[in-house]
Amino acid sequence: MPTIAAYPEFAVSGGLISYGNSPTAAYRLEAAYIARILKGEKPAEMPVQQSVKVEMIVNMKTAADLGLSVPQSLLARADEVIE
């Protein structure tokens, strides 16, 4: 069954498509928070931030196994295409 998930590991391990927040961008935000806390800022006074970078990964091997054709317009927007 064709499925879309929010985590990139899903598409990398054989899922059809993943679309969600970039783990790399989220880790950078987390590191910035930790650095600010270690410099003495109080966590309660820090603003809540959310990663705004999203990534789409399309697994063409899975699409072929399922007999699906993925539109070229979707592939053009993908951050990564797994052949």
Q: Contact 60/81 with Cβ under 8 angstroms?
A: yes
Q: What is the mean pLDDT of residues 73-78?
A: 95
**Helices of type H across 1-83:** 8-12, 23-38, 60-66, 72-77
DSSP 43: G
pTM of the model: 0.75
Q: Contact 54/19 with Cβ under 8 angstroms?
A: yes
- Span 14-68, pLDDT tens digits: 999 999 988 888 899 999 999 999 999 999 999 998 888 899 999 999 999 999 9
Q: Contact 20/51 with Cβ under 8 angstroms?
A: no
